[in-house]
Structures are given as C-alpha cells and as structure tokens.
Chains A and B, each alone.
Chain A
C-alpha cells in the first residue's frame, strides 16, 4: 500500500541498477541545484537543503511528480536512511535546520559504479510476510489514521446533530409555552362563553320549569324525606350542565364519585325542590346559575360562608363586620335601593363583553361574581392567580382545589414534592405555591429548597405541625413565605391568597379602593333581595309565597343585625377614600329601608340539607341551634335571582 508514488512503479523494475537511483545520481551531478540539493560534505550522503524548492522545481523535472513524501518513501525502499542530527550537536544539522540528509552505504559521490549495488530492498510479497518491523507498522498506522479520520467525522456529525437538536428543543419549548398560554386563554374564553350560555339557558328554563317546581313544592312541604323529594325534582342535566361539570373537573382536578349522580336520596336536590317550590326560582339568579330549577341551598348558603360567623352570631359576637373583607359586607342583611338591581344587570352584560377596566373597580369586581355560582367569592383579581397545590392526600387536595377554584384561581396540582419541583421548573408562571410538608418521595421542605434554587414564587407551607422550630426551618432555611395551618378553612386560605397576592388585585395601587367597592357589590344583592321580596314574589307565585316564605322568623336573627352593624359600617365608610363615596350612598339609602321588611314570613320550609344536618346533629342535642342563624341569610339569595331573572326575561 505504500507503493503509491506514481513514478516509483515505473522506475523500480528497470535494469540492474535502479532507474530511481540513477536519476538521483544524475540530479546530484547538476551543480545548478547546489543551493537546493547537493552531495553531503563527506560525499557519502546527499542533502536536500530547501525542501520546498526541491519539491516544486526539481522533483517534477527528474521524477515527474511533486510529492516529497513519495520521494522519501522511494528512498526508504532503496534502503536510504535519513541521517538524524538531533542526538548530536544539540540537534543542529550542519546543513541548516530544515535540511534533510539521506545516506546509503553504496551511494557516494564519484562512485557511479557502486550504484548497481543499491537495490530495492523488499519485493512486495516479502514485505508482507517478513518485513514486519517496517511495513506492518506503517500499515497499522495508516489503518489507525483512517479510523481516526472516520471517528472525527462521526464526532463532527454528532456535534452538528446535537447543535441542531438543541435549537429544535429551544423551539419546542417556546412552542409549548405558547400553546400553554393559548390553552389558558381558551380556557378563560370557554368560561366566559359558558357563563353567558348558562345565563341564557337559565332564563329559558326558568320559564318552562316554573310549573313543575310548583308541583314539587306541594309535596315537598317539609315532612318528606330528602330522597323522596329528590325523585320528584329529578332534572336531567342539560348539555350545558355537563359542560360546566367537565370544566369544573378539569379545573379542580376532581374526581367525582359518580355513584352520587343517580340522584336518589340526594338531599340537596330535595332542598332545591323545596326552594323552587316557593316560587323563588333562583336558578336564574344573575342569569348565570346552572341548575334550572331551584338553587341549591348549599350554594346559596355559601354566599354567606366562611367568615360569616360574626354576622350570624349576633349574640356574643364582638368583632362584627370586618370592612377589609368583602365577604363580611356581603352578608350585611339589610336591603338596598332597587336601582341596584339594574346595575347588576348592566354589569352582567359587561361581563359578557369582558370589560375589565381598572378604573371601574366596582364593576370589575362584580364581573366575576356574576359569572360564578354563588359559592364563588371573587376577591377582585386583575387576573386569575395561578396556584400550584402540592398535596399528597386526595381529600385535602380536592377540597383545597375546590376552594381555590371558588376564589377564581387557576389551579395546578402536584402529588408530591418531586412533582412540584418538576412543575415549578417547567412552568415559571405560578403566582403562589401551596406546599404540604409531609409527602412521599420528596417532602415539602426539600421541594421548597430545590425550587428556591431557581424561583422566588411565594411558597406557603400547609401543615398541622406548627411548632416554632419547624416554622424556623420553613422560613429561614428553605425560604418559605408563610404557614397555613391545617386543616385550613376557606377563610384562612383566602386570607393567605389576599396577603400574598395583593399585587394581583384590581387597583392594587389603591387597595382600599378595591376593598371599599365590595360593599357596593354586596349591598346590591341585598337590596335586590329586598326589592324582589316586595315586588316580584307576590306576583310570581302568590300561593307559595304565603306558605313557603323562606325567611320566616329566620330573620329574627338578622333583624337585630342592621342596628348592630350600622355603626360599623358607617365608621368604615368615611375612612375609605375615593370610591368609598359610592358605598356611602348605598348605605345611606340602605339604612333608610327598614329591615323589618324581611321579617314577616312564616318559617315553613327551610332548605332540607341544612335542616337535616342540624337536626341530626346539633339541633337534636343542642336546641339552642347556634348554627341556625347562618341559614337565615340565604332566602335572600333566591329572591335575588328570581328578581333578576324576572327583569332579564
């Protein structure tokens, strides 16, 4: 394989003395080359002084090629050896650094006859079998060289490919982010559309179902067991309801117990029948409520939920209404001027149009409120906060998710710390992370520690172990921001959100403004309740309104309240600047309207769910019925809805 020099093949086989050697000798006889190639000083060697010139000018002339390496190989074949100067005289060749000196014992100046003794040393076959020390290494080296080249190509290929993949990956990531955003947007659009469709649907159903609801009422009187009543009000869910359910499932990542769907013995349905029978078809409350006939008392009730206690336990409640929490004000039981109903109608339209103007704080706050079912409290976010809920226990996760959903949050869940870290890494858009502490795979403290390496999203520990040294660990060592004691309540959870997500509130630059708008919202509902009671309930269902008025002596508890609360309310109003003026107006009128209006009904039917629970549990053992007053509030909700429905229709 070394046989490569083009000339050597033709030169080697010729004559006794080799053609190549003759040419070499002849070349050296030419004195004009002395600067480039000449005999050595001793005459027993020859020296190539200028390698480059030799290759370019002399080789082509004498050997018909311009490959110095081939020339050297040819020399080697004839057993010429390069004279190495390196080991003597400090590596200095007497002919200069770049000189190549070659020697053969029979190759001497002025000794042309000895040229015949210079033979090509190894014929091709012998080379392979015997001359292992010479040719085989070169073969191997050549082979290795080829391999190295091949590998270099492979490496080059791989690194090119890697670079390409990196770029692709980046693109994919961006694309995924984009898709994620789109999905979120779509989700909110779907919610908006659903809200609108539901409002339309509810309006239609209200009309068609009113009669049926009436009938149910007659029997549901108050003595039937819930399961019996439920069968009478066995409403098939409309496609809309199913869609809504799907949405809810997705959002709260909740797996419903489908067994519960058959509706038999479903107490809330029973209660729904009772309520709707009373002629206060609350389904169309604000035009957006889902269930066609009759509101679920549980839902209506929940409007009053959470921190209502101070309101509903007038006796012994010292704290009263906290103006900083809209929910409190929501529960102010006194009525508001009628005109407010129109307001909320208008806002509903705006909601459909997705009007979200910060200046119109009050309206913006009402928008989501209208859209949601009554259980949902909208704390007035400028946009829905994205929450990562990290919790291994299914029950806690479902309930926490549901609560968050009711606060208009977008929820993502992780089942353990490992998943939490992965999700936090993959999705930098969380506004808050709720972190259980004790979890399988990776605990909450470690997960927080890891997340803190790349992210500053507020992380709230959820734990039942609230020992001070633990807290120290959570805060100082891993950088958690707060602790939410377990089991958390809706209120404690909402407080936590409001504390850490105040920047997401509408008009967060003016917190008070956004807070003070709430009273108006709530007052509107109360006023609606009031006015409905006067206007529509007699007209809509004269018969039932007599028997079934939901607000019996129920309101006894409440009637006392306006007086208790007025000072609180009015105290509060002046302290809030700007938008508070609005509340002042409302309240001013409010106070004028007598709360007495609520009093005169008879305590006929109470929502069955509550009742049952109360009776089975506390009521039986505790006739004081401490919880009862909480229930008294909700009749006002159905009234609101029927009123608004009436106007809508």
Chain B
C-alpha cells in the first residue's frame, strides 16, 4: 500500500481525529470517495464531449484533494490528466498539439486511475471497518 498511500500524509490526518473515534478522518475520506466518483463520472462525460479544458480542470481539482490525503497514485494520475487536458505531455513540459492524442492519453489514464482508486478505496473502507462497495 505504501506506494499508493503516503503514510505520513495520511497519518497526520488520522492524528486529527478526536479521542475515542475517527469520525473526522473517516468523514474526510468518505467525502473524498464521493468527490472522486463524481469527478470520474464527469471526466467520462467530458471525454465524450472532447472537452480538454474541463478535463484539465477536473484533473487539477481531484489532484488537490487526493494529494492532501496522500493518495499518491490517484494524485499522480490526476496530474497527468491535468497536463493532457492542457495540451501537454504527461509531465506538463512539452506541448502535445494533437487533440486526439491528448484525449486518448486521458482515456487511458482515466481507466488506470479508476483501478488505482478502487484499490485504495477498498483498502480504506476495510481500514474503517466498512465492507467494500
């Protein structure tokens, strides 16, 4: 799990839990689940619409919260989507002039990030003692 979740980052959130429960971190994490799933849905939609701008901004959006939780893989993928959507390569340094290539890159990344997300979601749900969905 260590390359999926940055433990330091995640633990400092656990540390903010009140004594006797972990509502705070659980609330954050489950809130993130909702956020991530709806963001993925939107990404699919904008992928169909070929709206690179929206895809980039959604990538940036989910990048922020996944990074804050220390969900490294999800964060990295979101960053790539942000770059692809901005017409760049995956590192954001070189231009990618072909829209179709960018869309295809996003399509691949999105498929992958959903898997990564599912993995970390299952882990976290187990961690919080909830059956995985």
Q: Is A265 an interface residue (CB 8 A)?
A: yes
Verify B69–A395 contact, CB threshold 8 A.
yes
Chain A contributes a number of interface residues (CB within 8 A of B) equal to 69
Looking at A5-13, A354-362, A482-490, A499-507, the stretch in contact with chain B turns out to be A482-490
Q: Is B15 located at the chain interface by the 8 A CB criterion?
A: yes
Partner of B21, one of A296, A301, A375: A296
Q: For residue A272, which residues in chain B have a CB less than 8 angstroms away from its CB?
A: 19-20
Which residues 604-649 of A have a CB within 8 angstroms of B? Answer: 609, 612-613, 616-618, 621-622, 627
Q: What separation, in Å, do the CA atoms of A230 and B21 have in the docked complex?
A: 10
Residue of A nearest to B25 (CB): A298
- Check A399–B13 contact: CB distance below 8 A: yes
CB–CB A398/B7 < 8 A: no
Partner of A266, one of B31, B57, B129: B129
Segment of B41-49, B59-67, B106-114 in the binding face: B59-67
Across the interface, which residues of B come within 8 angstroms of A268, CB to CB?
A: 14, 17, 20-22
Task: Enumerate chain B residues within 8 angstroms of A227, measured Cβ to Cβ.
Answer: 129
Whether B2 and A621, one on each chain, are in contact in the complex, defined by CB atoms closer than 8 angstroms, is yes
Task: Give the CA-CA distance A283 to B17 in the complex, in Å.
Answer: 15
Q: Which residue of A lies closest to B10 (CB)?
A: A613
Q: Does residue B35 face the partner (Cβ distance < 8 Å to A)? A: yes
CB distance from A617 to the nearest CB of B (A): 3
From A294, which residue of chain B is reached at the shortest CB distance?
Answer: B20
With contact pairs A257-B30, A266-B129 given, residues A298 and B64 touching in the complex (Cβ less than 8 Å): no
The contact string, 1 if C-beta is below 8 Å from chain B, for chain A 14-26, is 0000000000000
Q: Which residue of B lies closest to A301 (CB)?
A: B15
What total of chain B residues lie within 8 Å of the partner, measured CB to CB? 45
The residue on B at minimum CB distance from A296 is: B19
Contact of A269 among B14, B21, B30, B123 (CB under 8 A): B21
In the bound complex, do residue B31 and residue A395 qualify as a contact, i.e. CB atoms below 8 Å apart?
yes
In the bound complex, residues from chain B placing their C-beta under 8 Å from that of A292 are 20
Main secondary structure of the interface of B (DSSP, over half): helix
Inside 8 A of B64's CB, which chain A residues have their CB? 393, 395-396, 436, 464, 486-487
List, in ascending order, chain B residues with CB within 8 A of A244's CB.
18
A298 engages B28 (CB within 8 Å): no
Check B23 for interface membership: any CB of A closer than 8 A. Answer: yes
Beta-carbon contact of A612 and B19 below 8 Å: no
Does B97 have its Cβ within 8 Å of any Cβ on chain A? no
What is the CB-to-nearest-CB distance from A267 to chain B, in angstroms, rounded to a whole number? 6
Closest chain A residue to B57 by CB distance? A438
Distance (Å) between the CB of B32 and the closest chain A CB?
A: 5
Contact among B27, B65, B123, B129 for A256, CB-based, below 8 A: B27
Cross-interface CB contact of B19 among A230, A266, A283, cutoff 8 Å: A283
- 20 pairs from A and B in contact (CB 8 Å cutoff): A230-B129, A256-B27, A257-B26, A257-B27, A265-B130, A299-B17, A299-B19, A301-B14, A302-B16, A392-B61, A395-B64, A396-B68, A398-B27, A402-B24, A438-B60, A487-B9, A609-B22, A616-B1, A616-B126, A621-B1
